[in-house]
Amino acid sequence: MTSRTAIFGAPNEKGDESEKLVELFKNRAELKKEFAELRKEQFRLQQRVKEQQGSTARVTQKLEHLESLLIDPEWADTVVVFYQLRALNRRCQRKLAKFAEQLKQQRERRQQDGQLEGWQQGLDRDAAGLQQQIGEHGMQVQQLEDQLGAERQRLDTMSGLAKVLKGRAASGKLDKLTVQLADAQRVEQELLLKLDGIQNRKPPDTQGLGIAEKRSINFMIIAFAQQLYLQFRDGRLVSLVKESGDKSVGAINYGNKVDCDVLRALIVKQAESVEKITDFADILQRRAGMIAEHAVFKENNDVVPIPGTVATVFAIDANGVVREKDANLLGENYWELSNVLSR
């Protein structure tokens, strides 16, 4: 018994040990891989913590700066004016962005409707042509069915002698008509399947707006931005509103309390004016046309014009009289104009 174990048991034990060793190396490799992933995740989280700490420190610094301005009598009124100007600037931005988005959606729907209408007209035209073929072919099938029925009845009514003399010819004609009818019915079925395929066609994927359409949209958006600009009767105020979006609080001093009170009154009045913009589609279309006449593009496939070529603001009064004013709204990015243009 001992000798048999020595002969057969030893190799099995060595095999088990080898398998355990291989498994151990596999587990070790997996653990190293998981450890590397954990270190990578730890590093990423540490970076996020540092970034968050940096953001928190910047916000804290801004708040402390704002507090120092608000407790300073020379700056308190200026701070209020600054944020009122910034709020008006953002109101203009939202109004322009809303107009741009609605215009883009309108043009996209119009193009999609036009493409689907053309596709539907083609489908209706193909279906109508096939339906005409089916109708004409159906009449041929009906004629063959009538002939076949008549021949069967004639064969059934033949007398004994006539059936002997003419029966073979009548049966041959009957067979021929049966084959013709089967062929006609097969063709009819094929036409019906073809019609079903046409009627079940899926509409094609609609294509995006082309260069010309995107340019047209951008001219209208620029025209609307000009309208917002023209709502400001005070040239200094519109510059201050634009400036409030580019600079931080404390970078501008608007003067003493009297000066700030005057500005606050203008801001309130201007905010009401901006909200009272009504339907002026005709004027907008005309202004967009004049912008398009002057617009120049760097490349043939560009859709955003060179800012300097659309730097003329066109004011159109109720009588249609046009006055021009230099103001590079696109170049100076009034109302975040460059961000809402179609690309």
Distance CA 219, CA 100 (A): 11
Structure confidence at residue 1 (pLDDT): 46
Question: Would the pLDDT of 239 be above 80?
Answer: yes
Q: Quote the Cα angle for 189-191-192, to 5°.
A: 65
Average pLDDT over residues 226-255: 90
User: Which tokens hold the place of 335?
Assistant: 């109302």
Question: Would the pLDDT of 99 be above 60?
Answer: yes
Q: Give me the phi and psi of 323, to 5 degrees please.
A: -120, 140
Average pLDDT over residues 69-85: 87
In one-letter notation, the amino acid at residue 108 is: E
**Percentage of residues of the chain with pLDDT beyond 90:** 40
Q: Grade residue 166 by pLDDT with cuts at 50, 70 and 90.
A: low
Q: Grade residue 22 by pLDDT with cuts at 50, 70 and 90.
A: confident
- Only one residue has tokens 């700490």, namely 53
**Are the C-beta atoms of 283 and 316 separated by less than 8 Å?**
yes
Of residues 304, 317, 290, the one with CA closest to residue 223: 290
Round to the nearest angstrom and report the end-to-end CA distance of the chain.
89
Give the start-to-end residue ranges of the domains of the chain.
Answer: 1-71, 79-108+209-340, 118-199
Average pLDDT over residues 109-120: 86
Mean pLDDT of the chain: 85
Q: What is the dihedral of CA 256, 261, 262, 268, to 10 degrees?
A: 140
Distance CA 235, CA 92 (A): 16
> pLDDT tens digits for 176-232?
888 888 888 898 898 889 888 888 888 887 778 899 999 999 999 999 999 999 988
Of residues 108, 104, 102, 301, the one with CA closest to residue 208: 108
How does DSSP assign 49-90, residue by residue? HHHHHHHHHHHHHHHHHHHHHHTSHHHHHHHHHHHHHHHHHH
Distance CA 174, CA 186 (A): 18
SS3 245: helix
User: Which tokens hold the place of 21?
Assistant: 């060793």
**Are the C-beta atoms of 319 and 232 separated by less than 8 Å?**
no
Average pLDDT over residues 18-31: 79
Question: Would the pLDDT of 45 be above 50?
Answer: yes
Distance CA 45, CA 39 (A): 10
SS3 323: strand
Q: Identify the weakest region by mean pLDDT among 75-84, 122-131, 144-153, 263-272.
A: 144-153
> pLDDT tens digits for 288-318?
999 999 999 999 999 999 999 999 999 998 8
Structure confidence at residue 6 (pLDDT): 47
Q: Give me the phi and psi of 306, to 5 degrees please.
A: -65, 125
Structure confidence at residue 8 (pLDDT): 47
**Are the C-beta atoms of 325 and 339 separated by less than 8 Å?**
no
Higher pLDDT, 52 or 10: 52
